[in-house]
Homo-oligomer: A and B are copies of this chain.
């Protein structure tokens, strides 16, 4: 397995990411093969979708002002967090964890104030599974091969310190490798029977893209055999099966 980082120019609203990735591949002399996975950090997907918000344009609701007060956060950012969420999971001093409109449980609804201009924040991409699907289809059509596409973000998590990669969008690969029924070296049933392949890929690429802050927003992963049918939403644990909600 090999992971190669890919530089792209700074992305602005309306940019065609598939086109820019194809050009960057050309420039770098990287040839995509069947089963390769193209990983894209969510920052550039958001930017291409124009998901930047000027905080001066946000008018916080009463609910946002109250929550901003208890969490010591900017009321405008809290308004956006509420707007981007379908449920508040947990709040406290300087943190708001919600379930986003796309089902991700994360801090601040994934809203990010780094790598954008002062006074501006960036929302998570809209419908990231669909965004991954569209990019994959464009790249596949041009190159005539079968790829997977993963859109990644970094989330913190309970119990452990530091952030890891998470697949928030995916297309063309098995995101959850279901091994139930398979047996081990001794013919006994496997213990960890479902592997979150797309999250592992996002974490692996995180080591190369450095969370996207190094100007390496794309990575190509070679040597895996996970092309197939799947999306990132397969990795969201339904609330009713979640022991910690």
Q: How many residues of chain A have a CB within 8 Å of chain B?
A: 65
Indicate if the CB atoms of B237 and A163 lie closer than 8 Å.
no
Q: Does A46 contact B (CB under 8 A)?
A: no
The one of B182, B194, B243 that contacts A163, using a Cβ cutoff of 8 Å: B194
- From A221, which residue of chain B is reached at the shortest CB distance? B207
Indicate if the CB atoms of B235 and A158 lie closer than 8 Å.
no
Indicate if the CB atoms of B160 and A166 lie closer than 8 Å.
yes
Q: Within the assembled complex, what's the spacing in Å between the Cα atoms of A234 and B161?
A: 8
Question: In the complex, what residues of B have CB within 8 A of residue A195's CB?
Answer: 154, 162-164, 206, 210-211
Q: Within the assembled complex, what's the spacing in Å between the Cα atoms of A237 and B158?
A: 8
Contact with B along A92-124 (1 / 0, CB 8 A): 100101000000110000001111111000000
Given contacts A97-B243, A164-B196, A196-B162, contact A118 B188 (CB under 8 A): yes
Question: In the complex, what residues of B have CB within 8 A of residue A97's CB?
Answer: 243
Q: Does A54 contact B (CB under 8 A)?
A: no
Which residues A185-214 have CB closer than 8 A to chain B? 185-186, 188-192, 194-197, 199-201, 203-204, 206-208, 210-211, 213
Counting every copy of the chain, the complex holds: 2
Q: Within the assembled complex, what's the spacing in Å between the Cα atoms of A184 and B120?
A: 14
Indicate if the CB atoms of B204 and A154 lie closer than 8 Å.
no
Q: Does A2 contact B (CB under 8 A)?
A: yes
Indicate if the CB atoms of B161 and A236 lie closer than 8 Å.
yes
Question: In the complex, what residues of B have CB within 8 A of residue A162's CB?
Answer: 176-177, 194-197, 199, 235
Q: Within the assembled complex, what's the spacing in Å between the Cα atoms of A75 and B188?
A: 20
Indicate if the CB atoms of A213 and B190 lie closer than 8 Å.
yes
